Amino acid sequence: MIRKLGTFVEFSVMREPVTADWTIVGDTKELNIRGSHLGPYTYPLAIDYIHRGSIDVGPLITHTLPLEEFQTAIEKVHQAKDSIKVLLVS
């Protein structure tokens, strides 16, 4: 729900072509439409912050499994019922 004259930010990575009814989004509500994406250096910075302990990612990890149980980990992620992040450890 976006109020009339609000701002709509499209942030996504699509594998398949996606369509939108821009008449509703742009004309009916007269929204400001913005596109967004990750910057080219986002991942290295995030990895560094996690490595240095600047970001506590503990609350995001819902499951920790040994590397040998990678198939179970993949299934948990695919089911998306009770997992946010599944960590594999060796």
pTM beyond 0.75: no
User: What's the confidence (pLDDT) of residue 77?
Assistant: 92
- For 16-37, b/e burial (b = at least 16 CB within 10 A) is eeeeeeeeeeeeeeebeeeeee
Q: Give percent of the chain above pLDDT 90.
A: 39
The C-alpha torsion from 71 through 76 and 78 to 81, rounded to 10°, is 170
> Pick from 30, 34, 22: which is nearest to 2 by CA?
30
* Upper half-sphere CA count for residue 47 (Cβ side, 13 Å): 4
pLDDT band at 65 (very low <50, low <70, confident <90, very high): very high
- For the chain, the average pLDDT equals 86
φ/ψ of 34, rounded to 5, equals: -125, 145
